[in-house]
Amino acid sequence: MSLAGKVALVTGAGTGIGKGAAVELARRGAKVAVNYRSGDSDEGALDTAARIGEAGGEALLVPADVSDKREIDRMASKVAERFGGIDILVNNAAVQLNYTLFQHDGDTFDREMNVNLKGYWQCIQAVVPYMKSRCFGRIVCMGSVHGKRPTDFDPVYSMSKGGVKMLVRESAIELGRWGITVNAIEPGAVTARWPLVPEDEELANNPALIAKFPLGRTGRPYDIGHLVCYIASEEAAFLNGASIRIDGGSMLL
């Protein structure tokens, strides 16, 4: 599963799952544009770039607020200018406010939707021209198990992830004719704070975890990153419009 010569853009790559995806893509040879929110500290993104360097890859930092189409478009041009195109988009930057039904209001609804849904869509719009020109594209959208199962802690978050589910299906049937695939990953609980808690440490210290996670542990960003790399590969050419749940089986409990 080599991604040598491919160019990837990962949104929200300064932390968590996005960092894991960016590093794994680079490890397989992709050049990676590391997006983080403009105005935020670049500390996390610099760390991602350093890890990409350690893995022998090449990184480019591209700050942009994905709730703003102009910033998205500037980001995409910058990536294409530097790396000569865009082959892989990982839509990952998302907001989760953890407000309940009655804590939310119209403004917090908009804040989550403008990043999690409108942002995903407009990032797709921004990269499609580059993918069309090569008749190749891999778009991976980070959904969530909460696109199907409610959170019970943030209804707008799950509404946005439900929306992502259909954005992926619509994009898959619309963009397929240009060799562009669009798929969703639905992660369950991922322990995403860096530095990562080693799996064996978690297994040893939390025997109760097995009641919620059949494998006895939560996910790690690299778990998700490995799946991103498969979906982004040439081998996954026939995978389109799919949603892949990656949660260690926890949603079956």
For another protein, the binding residues (CB under 8 A) are: 69, 100-102, 104-106, 109-110, 113, 117-118, 121-122, 124-125, 128, 146-152, 155-156, 158-163, 165-167, 169-175, 241
Q: Which is nearer to another protein, 36 or 121 (CB)?
A: 121
Shortest Cβ distance from residue 125 to another protein (Å)?
6
Long-range contacts of 127-131 (CB under 8 A, 24+ apart): 127/9, 127/76, 127/86, 127/89, 128/175, 128/178, 128/180, 130/76, 130/80, 130/85, 130/86, 130/87, 131/86, 131/87, 131/175, 131/178, 131/179, 131/180
CB 139 within 8 A of CB 242: no
Q: Which is nearer to another protein, 112 or 247 (CB)?
A: 112
Q: Which is nearer to another protein, 79 or 128 (CB)?
A: 128
Shortest Cβ distance from residue 17 to another protein (Å)?
20
Q: Which is nearer to another protein, 140 or 175 (CB)?
A: 175
Per the document, the length of the chain is 253
CB 15 within 8 A of CB 192: yes
Shortest Cβ distance from residue 150 to another protein (Å)?
4
CB 30 within 8 A of CB 10: no
Shortest Cβ distance from residue 62 to another protein (Å)?
21
Residues serving a catalytic function are 157
